[in-house]
Amino acid sequence: MGYLLLGFAIAAEVAATTAMKYSDGFSKLLPSVVTAVGYVVSFVLLAQALKSMSIGTAYAIWSGVGTATVAALGLVLFGEGLSLPKVAGIVLIIAGVVVLNLGGAH
């Protein structure tokens, strides 16, 4: 159940971060509200996931998957460039999450 809650927490965080980009510096009401609600939902779900998961594992997955997903959305939705250093950074984030999980962080 913890991983399911964590997945929803990640989805809410990614939606909130994407909405923040659309908010134009919080000058547009609807994306600003989506941002605020998304982060609250994300943190509540993360807190619930932590009841059955170790904090290191949960946070590594939450931040790593969220970062990689937001980077991909930046490419697709906002036409942000994709450079070799960006790809390397995303690969290193994902590798770090994998290593934490393999290393018994949970």
Torsion of CA 86, 47, 9, 80, to 10 degrees: -30
Rounded-to-integer distance, Cα 91 and Cα 16, Å: 23
* pLDDT single digits (tens) 51-79: 999 998 898 899 889 998 999 999 999 99
Contact 94, 64 (CB under 8 A): yes
pTM of the model: 0.87
* pLDDT single digits (tens) 7-56: 999 999 999 999 999 999 999 999 999 999 999 999 999 999 999 999 98
Torsion of CA 42, 40, 19, 71, to 10 degrees: -30
